[in-house]
Amino acid sequence: MKIRTASPAEFKRLLAFYRASGYRPALAPSDLFVVAEDEAGICGALRLCSEEGVLVLRGMRVAPSRQRQGIGTQLLERAAGLTGERECYCIPHRILRGFYAQAGFEEIAVGTAPRFLQDRWKQYTGDFALDVILMRRPAVTS
C-alpha cells in the first residue's frame, strides 16, 4: 500500500474513483489529492481544497472492500502533514468525530465557522438529513 500525493495528470483517474464511490460534489484539478494505491489501483482518496481562502478537507473515500484496514487513518495523517501552518476545516459524519480528532480536528460551534461552511452544514443537515458536525484543525506553528 502506498499513500501519496496525486499529480494533476491523474485527475481523470481520481474523478473515476470518486464517481464509482458515489461522490457527487464537483472536483477541481486544482484540489490537492492524497491517494492510497495498491497493485489493483486507487483504493482510497481525500482532497484538500482552498475555498474562499479557507482550507477544507473533503471527499474522504475508501473502497468498501478496503475499509477498516487503517487506510483512512493513513490518508488523514498524510493530509494533516500537508496543511502546513494553515487551519483546516471539515464536515464529517458525527460518528467519525474521534477519527478526525486523531489528526487534531476539534468539533466547533456552527456559528464560528466561515459563512460558506455554515451554509453547507445547514444544507447537509437540512436538505440531506445528514448527521454531520463542523470540525477545525488549528494552524500548527513550528
Asked, for residue 96, whether it belongs to a domain, the answer is yes
Asked, for residue 142, whether it belongs to a domain, the answer is no
Q: Could you state, in chain order, the average pLDDT of each consecutive group of 10 residues for the chain (142 residues)?
A: 93 93 88 94 95 95 92 94 90 96 96 98 96 94 68
Asked, for residue 115, whether it belongs to a domain, the answer is yes
The pLDDT value given to residue 24: 85
Residues 107 and 99: beta-carbon distance below 8 Å? no
- What range does the domain containing 29 cover? 2-137
Task: Name the domain count of the chain.
Answer: 1
pTM of the model: 0.92
Asked, for residue 121, whether it belongs to a domain, the answer is yes
User: Dihedral through CA 78, CA 82, CA 87, CA 92, nearest 10?
Assistant: -30
Task: Give the domain CATH number at 19.
Answer: 3.40.630.30
Give the contacts of 63 (CB within 8 A, at least 6 positions apart).
21, 43, 44
Asked, for residue 112, whether it belongs to a domain, the answer is yes
